[in-house]
Amino acid sequence: MEREEKALWESKELIDCDEDLIDRVLTAATNVHRHLGPGLNESVYEAALMMELAAMGISAKRQVKVPVWYRGQKLDLAFQADIIVEDCLLLELKAVDSISSVHLAQTMNYQKLLNLKRGYLLNFNVKLLKEGIKRVSI
């Protein structure tokens, strides 16, 4: 498995997903926000979004370990991406007053480490979810 991970990490081709899937995922996130509103912990939104995605027939994994390679060697640590949808789209969830440059950098680094072209930074601690959606492409 480690050899496959290393090959994926060294690959230059980014994995992309189609716009229809993105639209459906953002609809799922909007449904969650509309139902729960702002002010809860990130983990609540994550669990609810996983339920919503499953109900829509969308495959997703949560708390996915993101391996880190340095000079061709895998480090004995990993980050955890909040949600990976259909093995092609990263969702980083937040419940903060505002999205910062650190949140954006984190999302971009996870995308690079996972070879994913697209990701979304979703801040659920807003009045309307559209105010908390940040598309991230590398």
Q: How confident is the model at residue 54 (pLDDT cuts 50, 70, 90)?
A: very high
CATH code, domain with 115: 3.40.1350
User: How many domains is the chain partitioned into structurally?
Assistant: 1
Name the residue range of residue 69's domain.
Answer: 2-137
- The pLDDT assigned to 68 comes to 87
Q: Which of 4-8, 39-43, 57-61, 105-109 has the lowest mean pLDDT?
A: 4-8
- The pLDDT assigned to 38 comes to 98
Distance of CA 33 to the CA centre of its chain: 16
- The model's pTM is 0.89
